[in-house]
A and B are shown apart, each in its own frame.
Chain A
């Protein structure tokens, strides 16, 4: 039976790596079962870091999995007639397998600093060096995203603001900054295709930024439990060319002015 159990444990690295490879290769029935299409500039870096860690841990996964299999196969008491090696450890080995992983782990940690600060710390600036103001303010509430665009004056909170619900439009190829906040409980503003996620905390004002590189409509997901209707707190983000965006904006503003006039 020792052989059987050894082979069972060999299945772990074989099927583990195999199923990941299957998903990465995008073959039926696992089409689109891996990182969704990335349409942002910084997402390329995040995806490459994901892959880097995957390959690195993959090597360790395979090596330790094979060692486990080999030892189980070879030292099965039913077949192994040799007496056991009466050893209590090995000083050199302990040092090697402490220092080596420590170096690798520290390297991974330091390697992440730059993209992390680019995504969360350093707000993008215009060519002139000024901090780019938010194009819109996204407010989470149970269970919708309320969006308030800065009007002509570029200021949020003035009478010419444009209001939408769950419908965010942004121009392509421009650094976009969004102010996000919550008026009730925690939410999390998650754009899977743009590799953006930030918890939204009531009482705090936070910013997210990204540059979208491809036109289309994508999901806005709430990724932090916000109550019974958490699952349906869905929005859409539409990336479009600057002209199309401006046209959409003017159209929306005209419609809004009309309804405001009508309600007066």
Chain B
């Protein structure tokens, strides 16, 4: 076992500074993980409300928003203005991607689970880990204050394509708000980078004795590959962000071509290329798509095996397909740019790579189905969310093939078809997996269970309404209904689509309302949930042999790993699970049997 710094955060004294160093500026990976979890869940509320603003405008364009419309838009008589609408979808995506999905996967679950699942007492660099959380706060402040800048927030899309984003005169949101947006995203990048360095080092260096790479739970494999993706892709986004900042502030011309006349003003610089930004942006943001799904896939694999009471089907193919997705993930960014003006010949190579990346995803789906086959399936709340991940990911995966086909993409590019696709992957996929993971690991985080009945109701309503909201988007996309239009109905082609949009908005409102059940369940369970022991689900992985919640230093014994993480239903033992730390029967009594 590698030697490493012992965590020194001990809440011994009870003085104010002890409290601050234990629960605020904590260097304990579990506290940091929970800090990430609470922060991202709060931003999830903000992102969800922004989405409702978008849905309101698409269902009842230019109509008074009930109650809050008067408060927000007194100048416009309670209506959403077109510039406010462009802000809504820009900030919805920004908040959901940079403040919710990426930090909740890597920040919250990565932090909480990595040391526990590999049998380490903390991360390799606890102080760096603490900083990775606290560097989110400048980002929160930048994006938060962006809302109160002229234009009410950045409004050039979460992709921030120049010249719209780079020339302040181009849009109301492209003044100060855009500068704050760029700074905010850069701080998120710094935070992620600190996290990824830490995760890589911890997973490579600090595994418990016997924990070989091929005995790692798939959650950890996914976190490991995700950290690699972040480490290699993030510098490009950071560099691109600074280039755009320089274009805006210092008058450079990386992304601005000669002779631009925007809003009757002549930008001083020139000689740049708008497509350069798109290449740099997607060189990060396409791998980021996998940063936003791989950890979810890993966690779903663990939950599926646990509640099928059966080994995961094809462990090694699962690991290889995660790696395959990550490898191919670096050479498919151009499929966001088929119609951008990029050389169409290049589009062909990107199409082939993109088609091939569907392969490892398909292999994963088949292996999940293989895991369910022949099991003893327990329909717990985390399991329902994990199964729905598989079911929804099939839709999101298959709809991707439409966009990958370049001629078909000509028609459905930038329509609601793509909006349907990425919401199936990111909401119906990742967000549902995250809900499942919260229900699954909540007992380990807080030592109490969440209420199962309310959990199942939450699942049922979310599942129904998410499909009502997002499945219908495919149909809008097939008509060619473009995204990002404040009022699509003045086009003849799309005029008749308003009733369907109203149906979707009603579903979306119900979906957001259903999350109140989750919020109440989550908060109340922290205080009054049923207390549990170390291993309430009968799971195999190491974290379930630590106390719930684990104290500082995690394990009250030295974990030694004897086998892979998915030996459920093994004939070697009488129980239907066979924890990684349990010595084989023949050796029982001779080994240092860990206290369970």
Contact = CB atoms under 8 A, between A and B. Distances in A.
Interface of A: 1-2, 5, 8-9, 12, 15-16, 19-20, 23, 29-36, 45-46, 49-50, 53-54, 57, 60-61, 64-65, 67-68, 71-72, 75-77, 80, 83-90, 93-94, 97-98, 101-102, 105-106, 108-109, 112-113, 115-117, 119-121, 141-142, 183-186, 188, 190, 192-193, 195-204, 206, 218-219, 221-232, 234
B362 A227 contact: no
Contacts of A202: 163, 257, 259-260, 274
B492 interface: yes
B524 interface: no
B487 A232 contact: yes
B377 interface: yes
A98 B340 contact: no
25 contacts: A8-B463, A31-B496, A33-B475, A33-B478, A33-B497, A34-B475, A36-B479, A71-B369, A72-B372, A84-B375, A85-B310, A86-B310, A89-B370, A98-B359, A101-B358, A101-B363, A105-B356, A109-B351, A112-B405, A117-B344, A120-B344, A199-B340, A206-B341, A227-B164, A231-B485
B478 A106 contact: no
Interface string B343-361: 0110110011001101100
Given A33-B475, A109-B355, A198-B339, A65 B394 contact: yes
B471 A16 contact: yes
A203 B475 contact: no
A186 to B, nearest CB: 6
Interface stretch (B122-130, B185-193, B199-207, B564-572): B564-572
Nearest to A188: B414
Contact of A102 (B356, B391, B412): B356
A64 B395 CA distance: 10
Nearest to B358: A105
A142 B379 contact: no
Nearest to B260: A202
A197 B338 CA distance: 10
Interface centre among A30, A32, A201 (most CB of B within 10 A): A201
B393 to A, nearest CB: 10
Interface centre among A34, A219, A230 (most CB of B within 10 A): A230
B263 A142 contact: yes
A75 B491 contact: no
A121 B95 CA distance: 38
A223 B413 contact: yes
Contacts of A101: 358-359, 362-363
Contacts of B309: 77, 84
Interface residues of B, number: 116
B496 A105 contact: no
Interface centre among A90, A120, A121 (most CB of B within 10 A): A120
Which are the 4 A-B pairs with shortest beta-carbon distances?
A203-B257, A85-B374, A228-B83, A89-B314
B493 A192 contact: yes
A87 B170 contact: no
B414 A224 contact: yes
Contact of A75 (B171, B377, B471, B482): B377
A120 B410 CA distance: 10
A32 B460 CA distance: 31
A251 B68 CA distance: 53
Contact of A223 (B414, B566, B568): B414
B143 to A, nearest CB: 19
Nearest to B410: A197
Given A77-B309, A93-B366, A183-B259, 15 more contacts: A15-B471, A32-B496, A60-B394, A68-B391, A75-B308, A80-B377, A86-B570, A89-B316, A102-B359, A105-B401, A185-B167, A202-B257, A203-B273, A226-B164, A231-B85
B414 A185 contact: no
B83 A234 contact: no
Interface in B51-89: 81-83, 85-86
A86 B309 CA distance: 9
B376 A53 contact: no
Contacts of B479: 32-36, 192
A183 B260 contact: yes
Interface string B368-385: 011011111111000010
A64 B369 contact: yes
Contacts of B261: 141, 183-184
B199 to A, nearest CB: 27
Given A15-B467, A72-B372, A102-B359, A87 B311 contact: yes
Nearest to B309: A84
Interface stretch (B153-161, B175-183, B285-293, B438-446): B153-161
Contacts of B147: none
Contacts of A195: 410-411
A29 B499 contact: yes
A19 B471 contact: yes
A225 B156 contact: yes
Contact of B341 (A2, A33, A201): A201
Contacts of A204: 257, 275, 341
Contacts of B487: 231-232
B245 interface: no
Interface centre among A72, A83, A97 (most CB of B within 10 A): A97
Contacts of A227: 86, 164, 170-171
A200 B474 CA distance: 25
Contacts of B415: 223
B432 to A, nearest CB: 13
B323 to A, nearest CB: 14
B576 interface: yes
Contact of A116 (B344, B463, B471): B344
